[in-house]
Chains A and B, each alone.
Chain A
Amino acid sequence: MRIGVFVCQCGTNIAGTVDTQEVARRAGNLPDVAYATSYMYTCSEPGQQEIQRAIREKNLQGVVVAACSPRMHEPTFRRAVERAGLNRFMFEMANIREHVSWINNDREANTRKAAELVEMAVAKLRFNQPLFSSQISVNKRVMVIGGGVAGIQAALDCSDGGLDVVLVERKSSIGGKMAQLDKTFPTVDCSSCILGPKMVDVVQKDNITLHAASEVESISGYVGNFTVEVRKKATYVDWTACTGCGACIEKCPSRKVPDVFNENLANARAINIPFPQAIPKKATINRDYCLHFTKGKCGTCQKVCPTGAVNYEMQDEIVTEQVGAIIVATGYDLFDASVYGEYGGGRYADVISGIQYERILSASGPFGGHIKRPSDGKEPKDIVFIACVGSRDASVGRPYCSGVCCMYIAKQAILTRDHLPDTRVWVFYMDIRAPGKNYDEFVRRAQEEYGVQYIRGRVGKVYPKGDRMVVQGNDTLLGVQVEVEADLVVLATGIEASAGARELAEKLRISYDQYGFYMESHPKLRPVETNTAGVYLAGVCQGPKDIPSSVAMGSAAAAKVQALFSRDTIETNPQVALVNERVCISCGKCIQVCPFGAIQWKELRGGIRKAEVLPSVCQGCGLCNATCPPKAIQLQHATDNQILAEVNALCA
């Protein structure tokens, strides 16, 4: 093989601490290297032309570029060598910037390490083979998982673009957390007034299929061709017949069912529609409370339903959906405030969470929009908000900022003073985080126009005194202890990953951070992509954010899907596993370990079975190769021989 080596100076990025001339000189002595040089900016237009010129003039068959991380420019250089007539896989990159020049100042050691990395790349390249991708067709349907505002926005945008959309929501209605909110900062417009029409749009669009009360069971396939099994949970009501009239709910004798939509501040019935604007507006039976299921008698709802929709025999149903892309918008859950025993959350009726307060404020909430406290229904005269309950506190495993609490406290304080102008409001906070458009102004309005008392400091303890609560904390600005007596205490509980987020991530084969938030492909440049091709993110499932950002992300994910679907076919990645049938001993271990189900048996003449990789399903993880005892299955472009050549180059 005739190999050319190009050592990039990256201006002074590399040349500052690496003698690139020396690296090129040493590379020139390696076996098969026919040409070696150092260049100022290899990725620049002239730099790429220099590579192409060398390929033609020196008859190069393979190229090594020693420069930055392959994540940065491998595609650039692959295209460059391809333009000069080489197969793009006859190219290797040695990372001498992120792995060398940027992490150490010792010029001599750096130069040695860079030379060794180049030697490894050359050693590997000598075993490279041209690889070719094939084209696979794209199924232009998209699935959106999670019907909060982010998922709804993504679904509507895709639908507007003419795509068929399948929206999967695990609750019986879409809407997510936003449906529970009263008003929204910073404009204080009514949440259901702005969300409601979007929810209605979802059912009115012909090209959106909504599976509510459903969850993803399994996912197989790959970008362009996913097969998703969706479990439609038994609701015990035939939704094609249910008109949402509510007759059943009125008559249901099981009346002590926690009303989850109202954050358990009220009771619901065993057969229920969560809220008046629910989409779809269909009844669901809660088995745990239904007397038919718990006691074996009742049947009232079945009798009163005018359309005969109630069906106690209903079973979960699995439907299979074929889609080409998936947008994940599964949102969040809230921190369990009872972890802070000293605040009394979950212990005292009048210590509630922010989302409970949203329900109290809401006209469709448990108290019809009148601010009352849960214990005795009295109007509170003094209210204390405590910020950062389960945010920015490493001791409870939540070191991150939930991003929306400062703002919703200000909103709730303003709304409180609007409803009950005589009520006094205190806020205990750590810092005010209000970086959005018109956000800081909003908080200032709470402080200046609405007279909300902001006290900078942590609360130590909340305890009952008579029928009131005492909040003990310190004011770090004044350096004094403060004690406030209040009728109601609202804990701004922080955002955490939604329940089941990790399990869903495993099914989707996307990564998540230590808190369960999904990982974007690049924090700045690929914020809605994941590292699994064809799977995109929207909303709080990726990390805490407010409604405007969630909606923007929903639209962005939709745009990515539109871009993907603008082509009829996509190229497969040829860096997949391949079985050498002569070596395969038919042990089946690879089939067993492949996390993607990418390997199956292939029957040869005489009933002999050999393993066979489905190249379009294989993700190139290499687990099969590590497991295969005789190493019959090899990952293309990272074969044992290629890796061994690198190791040998380093250890020789």
Chain B
Amino acid sequence: MFENATKQLRETVEAALPELNTVVGWRAGYDPLHMTPVFIKNAGDLSKLEWSPFCVQNLSGYLVKDPAVRAQDPSKKIGICVKGCDSRSLVALIQEKFIERNQIHVFGIPCRGTVDWRRVMKLGPLTGIQSARVEESRLVVEDANGGHTFALEDVLARKCLRCAHPNPVIHDVLIGEPVTPRVAVENSYGEVERMEEQSLEDRLGFWKKELDKCLRCYACRNACPLCVCQDRCIAETREPRWLTQRVGTSEKFLFHFIHALHLAGRCTECGECERACPMEIPVTLIKEKLNKITLELMSYEAGMDPEAVPPLLTFNPGETGL
């Protein structure tokens, strides 16, 4: 079934390509469980473009962070392929005026969930993977030892299992039919709720243990499409001196809470930070907690409406609910 979608995607992109600078999409990676970003500039590259449940990456960050993508013929738009979650990053970037809506051409893809390769590898150590495909509610992988089948629920990314917005919230073209969301947003914070039930000591203990693993490699920040400060990020600047190079949990804690607070009311829960983390720290969970608060106090969901103003990016003396 994904062959069809890929075909349709390629055809749609091909039709639009003359009007576009580049199209950012996905292509096959080093094994069938992995995809990698691709930048299509001419029709000759189209055969590389693919869509499958392994296209986990949120590509919208490239629009603001990659100078190669940004410095292009300004009279032409940039094409970008997005899933439901990724499209919300675009909306957030539009809201904050990092990109203009009319600068981009959005190929929106309704998504039934993406596969977290780490979960697959944990279920069955695989070697020499030859093929991987999703069939209905199963993942079928062939490796050197033969075929393996996994229930899709067991291998989907955490963010996908709680996905309330599988259909792109903005798009110029839609590839495929819209799908039904798994949960309503109000019901998507189960993990946060389970954390909340724990005692303060237990929660502190949990985060100390988790965050102590942090290498401060800043992969999470670099992967985040909304962490746009790059070299100026206060994790690295020493003026002002919020963080030092000292090793220790306190500095790690501080970094993660700075990151989370800078994303409060902005984070779209795309899960890139968590996916990028080499130490498998559930860092998106911190932002989920903040978003739950934002939803409860201010009835606001990030990245849904390009015209909306994120609640922490405005001064409204008549603010209610706080």
Contact = CB atoms under 8 A, between A and B. Distances in A.
Interface of A: 506, 580, 583-585, 587-589, 592-595, 623, 627, 629-632, 634, 639-641, 644
B315 A506 contact: no
B317 A592 contact: no
A184 to B, nearest CB: 37
Given A585-B228, A630-B234, A631-B234, A593 B97 contact: no
Contacts of A630: 229, 232-234, 237
B241 interface: yes
B318 interface: yes
B213 interface: no
Given A583-B237, A594-B315, A644 B242 contact: yes
B240 A641 contact: yes
B312 interface: yes
Given A506-B318, A589-B313, A592-B309, A583 B241 contact: no
B92 to A, nearest CB: 12
A593 B314 CA distance: 5
A587 B96 contact: yes
Contacts of B314: 592-593
Contacts of A639: 240
A591 to B, nearest CB: 10
A592 B308 CA distance: 13
B262 interface: yes
B250 to A, nearest CB: 10
A631 B234 CA distance: 7
A640 B228 contact: no
Contacts of B230: 585
Nearest to B312: A627
Nearest to B236: A630
A589 B313 CA distance: 6
Nearest to A506: B317
Interface string B289-322: 0000000000000000000010011110110000
Nearest to A639: B240
Interface string B46-88: 0000000000000000000000000000000000000000000
A584 B228 CA distance: 11
B309 A583 contact: no
13 contacts: A506-B317, A583-B237, A583-B239, A584-B232, A585-B229, A587-B228, A592-B313, A595-B315, A595-B317, A630-B237, A640-B240, A640-B241, A644-B240
A59 B315 CA distance: 46
Contacts of A583: 232, 237, 239
Contacts of B318: 506
Contacts of B242: 631, 640, 644
B241 A629 contact: no
Residue of A589, A630, A632 ringed by the most chain B CB atoms within 10 A: A630
A273 to B, nearest CB: 35
A629 B234 CA distance: 8
A588 B241 CA distance: 22
B229 A623 contact: no
Contacts of B234: 629-631
A389 B240 CA distance: 57
Interface in B98-119: 98
A588 B228 CA distance: 12
A129 to B, nearest CB: 13
A599 B233 CA distance: 21
Contact of B241 (A584, A595, A627, A641): A641
Interface string B228-256: 11101110010111100000000000000
